[in-house]
Chain A
Amino acid sequence: MSFLAKYIGQKVKRTEDPRLVQGIGHYVDDIELAGTLSVVILRSPYAHAKINSINVDAAKKAPGVVAVYTGKDIEGKVGLIPCAAAAPDMKKPDYPALALGKVAYVGQPVAAVVASDKYKARDAVDLIEVDYEPLEAVTDIEAAARPDSPVIHEELGTNVGWLYQAGSGDIDAAFAQADKVVSLKLVHQRLIPTAMEPRGVLAQYFPGEKQLNVWSSTQIPHLLRTTLAAMLGVPENRLRVIAPEVGGGFGSKLNVYAEEALLGWIAMQLGRPVKWIETRRENMMATIHGRGQTGTVEVAVKNDGTLLGLRYNVIYDLGAYLQLLTPAIPTLTGLMLSGCYKIPAIQLNCTQVYTNKMATDAYRGAGRPEATYLVERVMNRVADELGMDPVELRRKNFPKPEEFPFATAAGLVYDTGDYAKALNKALEIADYKKLRDEQAKARAEGRLVGVGVSTYVEICAVGPSVMLPSGGWDSATVRVEPSGKVTVLTGVSPHGQGEETAFAQIVGDMLGVDMNDVLVVHGDTDRVQYGIGTFGSRGLAIGGTAVAVATDKIVGKAKRLAAHMLQTDENSLTFENGKFVGAPDDKSMTIQEVAFHAYQAHNIPPDFEPGLVASYFFEPKNCTFPFGAHICVAEVDKETGEVKILRYVAVDDCGKQINPLLVAGQVHGGIAQGMAQALFEEAVYDENGQLLTGELMDYAFPKAHQLPRYELDHTETPTDVNPLGAKGVGEAGTIGSTPAVANAVIDALAPLGVKHVDLPLRPEKLWRLMNN
């Protein structure tokens, strides 16, 4: 495989942007089909209640109303909402698309109203009378696990869904040999992903053709198609799922939701297009949440700082029901418990409990931010206890570059890495020694200034396929059309990552064509061959590799035809800048000329298949493991408890960068989300299971003036898992930044004797701490 470097590695401006900056792209709600009806969902106001009866008579008679459906209407007709990640021994409740007999979280869908427009549908929803019998809500995850807790799903007999243990190495021996055991209890608070575009679904049915079309704001159009086909009993080859422009996902759209199935079913019932657009309030209460772990980490360590073992006992908040990947999230935490360090023995003990809240699931980082946060926090505690500099402690326990591939006791084999290099670069940029001197001065003046370091490694582009319920591969088809224009069909489904640009760069360089002649198509199951989708920082490393290999196959095929037409031997030809050269008499052919002849097929070798199309399904043999070092300098205002980020330095290594502009964008956004977890955001339920942060007004989503400038740099340690050498960067920033910020703020408070504070580090919490 060979590449030019005209586009690859360059800061190429995005091809997506002209339509988006002019507001002429199409998100689900922007697609208008004639005769479309609006659907509005009635949702449970209770966290836990029996439904005695539902009366929809008045709603049905309201102006503009076409139909009203409840759980009974769809029972046995719309399949249950699926979970693809429940272990066979997991206790798992049925999760109907509309509640049947009971509700278990605020926001659970209870009924659907279909009307001529959204105002009328909203009016009619208010006319539905539901007789609820409220039950005691279970909201505290530690209490939920106790035998005396009310049980949410009676048929399960317990709130404990799954007990899970992972890790390897002799953990007891590790703790027996320790000079010191350091332990720390931490809360990974619930977060609300809050993509700026709420979810939305549009469905249309053609009874003659028996064809169902579903537009959904999703990250996984093909997986959604397969699942919806099963839920609705529609043959998969007559179901088309389209993910048009998608306004952010962060894992929240890596799922299969009630509304997606409901809308498909309603469109089939009514024979008219139907549209449902989530309100922000619905988005906050009924789209998956992230994080939600409370755990205690214990580390066995020698006096010289050598790590011997790590144990993490954790309770995980499933929420009321399982969404697509809910129980898998803490297993990812377990896999990353070794962090960037050599730890010979690791053990995870995970108790997963049901609570009367929205389900948790994959939110940017999905289990890895939890791992990195707990490891990086406890590393600082260990450094404290041993009187070591946190940087020295980290360095001492890094595997060396020559120790890769590096097998961890958590059960993974890290591909490539040079952790000290990234850390050293970050220290140099931040001028760590000077920072510490300045900190000492600031402390002497009575100011609360802290320096926080985090070194992280994460797991991206998960593979081989056995590691994911869906499979871990992805696909591409590359077509050089008769005119020489190139069409790329990718199985991944970007929604802001910029892969229309990145893939055009790859193909442009490999075929020696103008990247503006390369069209990248995604997100439509009728146009694109099956694919897995965009999540887990896999788009480029897996989807991009499929594109590159398919393109390489194109070059191989075109070369055969070129040799035939130039009447020379294939081996004497080389492909340079889009041209096959090296034939006698200096004759040459461009890839566009070859394409034309491949389709015209008047002069092809006897066994040559006409056309110039190639597909490739790339099966990765391992995951990739990007890493980096983040340094944060923070000051806590003594008067107000407010945290000011004075500097933020991030050195990330995502392997080979195809487009540094896109990489930086991903890192910026990731850091912002990680900082938001550290400083601001928390999904708060009260003891009755009411979501108190149910609007953007109450949920502390950060604004431009609350976030700092980020100073970025990188190291480049390519992976050998794929030929691009790219590791993935979608989640790195989020994973690295939460602990860096927390370590900085807690370091700032160290003179007050503070050893740990749970997130988010909001002014009020810090003020109380300083004033007690």
Chain B
Amino acid sequence: MKINLSINGQKHEADVEPRLLLVHFIRDLAGLTGTHVGCETSICGACTILMNGKAVKSCAILAVQADGAEITTIEGLATNGQLHPVQEGFWECHGLQCGYCTPGMIMSACGLLKENPNPTEDQIRHGLEGNLCRCTGYQNIVDSVKYAANKIKAQTAKAD
């Protein structure tokens, strides 16, 4: 099946098997390997991306279902070498160790902050319940998201 989609602003056109998972399209065909696979059963969240602005698990979607979609992956977050506030938060707050869950965590956090720019600790913890991390015990991830929320707030205040 022919599909057209945009990933990080780049157009991709391909003829794919209907069963191809979106995560495999992103990794194997588009060559963007920052989106990780931790389970393929939509539990771990390592494959989280933004599809039309919403955080989704790309192992739970077929590539053909993404026909016409606008996708952002972890590689598309930083602009001109400048880290996105959520990426910066993870760096500042030691929100990662092995880094394997990190792209998915960051993309989920981006989705969460879009919906709720001012989350409480509890809302962050629940908002990230679709993302597993074995290394950090989550506390620094929560702090990273809080950091990002504050940073985004400060940036928008400045822009206004």
Among B20, B91, B106, contact of A13 (Cβ-Cβ < 8 Å)? B91
Residues of B within 8 A of A707 (CB): 137-139
Task: Given A18-B91, A671-B137, answer yes or no on A697-B41 (Cβ-Cβ < 8 Å).
Answer: yes
Residues of chain B in range 25-64 having any CB-CB distance to chain A below 8 Å = 27-28, 31-41, 43-44, 46
- Asked if B103 is at the interface (CB within 8 A of a chain A CB), the reply is yes
Taking the complex as formed, is A280 at the interface, i.e. its CB lies under 8 A from any CB of chain B? yes
| Chain B residues with a Cβ closer than 8 Å to the other chain, count | 58
- Jot down 23 A-B pairs with beta carbons below 8 A, ordered by A: A14-B94, A21-B99, A22-B34, A22-B74, A22-B78, A23-B35, A26-B33, A119-B19, A196-B100, A197-B38, A197-B98, A248-B100, A250-B134, A495-B98, A496-B98, A672-B137, A673-B137, A696-B44, A696-B132, A703-B129, A704-B126, A704-B141, A707-B137
- Known A-B contacts A23-B103, A197-B36; the reply to A709 vs B98 at CB < 8 A is no
Neighbouring A residues of B99 by C-beta, 8 Å: 16-17, 20-21, 25, 245, 247, 496
Instruction: Determine if B149 is an interface residue (Cβ-Cβ < 8 Å).
Output: no
Task: Give bound CA distance, A20 to B33, whole Å.
Answer: 11
Name B's interface SS. Answer: loop
The answer to whether B38 and A704 touch across the interface, beta carbons within 8 angstroms, is no
If A17-B96, A18-B83, A669-B97 are given as contacts, then 17 extra A-B residue pairs at C-beta distance below 8 Å, sorted by A number, are A20-B102, A119-B20, A195-B98, A196-B44, A197-B38, A248-B100, A496-B97, A664-B94, A673-B134, A673-B137, A703-B125, A703-B128, A704-B131, A705-B126, A707-B137, A707-B139, A710-B139
- In the complex, the answer to whether A248 meets B41 with C-beta atoms within 8 Å is no
Report how far A710 CA is from B143 CA in the complex, Å: 12
Closest to B73 in A: A23
Chain B residues closer than 8 Å to A247, beta-carbon distance: 36, 98-100
- Residue tally, chain A, CB below 8 Å to B: 56
Q: Which of A673, A695, A709 has the most CB of B within 10 A?
A: A709
- Interface membership of chain B positions 129-157, coded 1 if the CB is closer than 8 angstroms to chain A and 0 otherwise: 10111111111111000000000000000
How many Å lie between the Cα of A668 and that of B136 in the bound state? 6
Q: Counting CB contacts under 8 A, is A292 at the interface?
A: no
Query: Counting CB contacts under 8 A, is A194 at the interface?
Result: yes
CA distance A401 to B75 in the complex (A): 52
**Residues of chain A within 8 A of B31, CB atoms compared:** 32
Residue with the greatest number of chain B CB neighbours at <10 A, chosen from A21, A195, A695: A21
B17 interfacial by beta-carbon distance below 8 Å: yes
Q: Which of B28, B37, B94, B132 contacts A662 (CB 8 A)?
A: B94
* Of A22, A32, A117, A194, the contact of B75 (CB 8 Å cutoff): A22
Q: Which chain B residues lie closer than 8 Å to A195 at the CB level? A: 98, 100, 134
User: Does B98 contact A246, Cβ atoms closer than 8 Å?
Assistant: yes
Pick from A198, A245, A697, A710: contact of B137, CB under 8 Å: A710
Count of A-B contacts judged by CB separation below 8 Å: 171
**Residue B7 at the chain A interface, CB threshold 8 Å:** no
In the complex the two chains form, is B83's CB within 8 Å of A22's CB? yes
Instruction: Tell me how far the C-beta of B26 lies from the nearest C-beta in chain A, rounded to whole angstroms.
Output: 11
Residue of chain A at shortest CB distance from B124: A704
Neighbour of A248 across the interface among B35, B43, B134, B140, CB < 8 A: B134
B92 on the interface (CB 8 Å rule)?
yes
User: 8 Å CB contacts to B: which residues of A87-137?
Assistant: 117, 119
| Residues 701-733 (chain A) with a chain B CB within 8 angstroms | 701, 703-705, 707, 709-710, 733
A415 part of interface (Cβ distance < 8 Å): no
Cβ contact within 8 Å between B41 and A280: yes
Most interface-central of B96, B129, B131 (chain A CB within 10 A): B96
Residues of B within 8 Å of A197, CB to CB, are 36, 38, 98, 100
Q: Which residue of A lies closest to B43 (CB)?
A: A696
Which residue of chain B lies nearest to A284 when distances are taken between CB atoms in the complex?
Answer: B39
Task: Mark A334-368 against chain B: 1 for CB-CB distance below 8 A, else 0.
Answer: 00000000000000000000000000000000000
Q: Which residues of B contact A280 (CB under 8 A)?
A: 38-41, 44
For B27, what are the chain A residues with a Cβ–Cβ distance below 8 Å?
A: 29-30
Q: Which residue of B lies closest to A497 (CB)?
A: B97
- How far is A570 from B127 in the complex, measured between Cα atoms in Å? 62
Which of B32, B135, B138, B140 sits near A496, CB closer than 8 Å? B135
Q: Chain B contacts of A194 at CB under 8 A? A: 134
Q: How far is the CB of B41 from chain A (nearest CB, A)?
A: 6
> A498 to B97, Cβ gap below 8 A?
yes
A364's closest neighbor in chain B, by CB?
B134
Tell whether, in the assembled complex, residue A279 and residue B40 are in contact, meaning their CB atoms are under 8 Å apart. Answer: yes
Complex interface: chain A residues within 8 A of B126 (CB):
704-705
A196 touches B35 (CB 8 A): no
| Whole-angstrom CA separation of A284 from B28 in the bound complex | 25
Residue numbers in B under 8 Å from A665 (CB-CB):
94, 97, 135-136, 140
Q: Of A23, A30, A119, A248, which one neighbours B97 at CB under 8 angstroms?
A: A248
Most buried by B among A29, A197, A701: A197
Report the minimal beta-carbon distance from A149 to chain B, rounded to whole angstroms. 35
In the complex, what distance in Å separates the CA atom of A277 from the CA atom of B34?
Answer: 16
Interface status of A466 (Cβ within 8 A of chain B):
no
With A498-B97, A672-B137 as contacts: A196 and B38 at CB distance below 8 Å: yes
Residues in B with CB closer than 8 Å to A680 are none
Residues of chain B within 8 A (CB-CB) of A279 are 40
B91 with A30: CB separation less than 8 A: no
A248 in contact with B94 (CB, 8 Å):
no
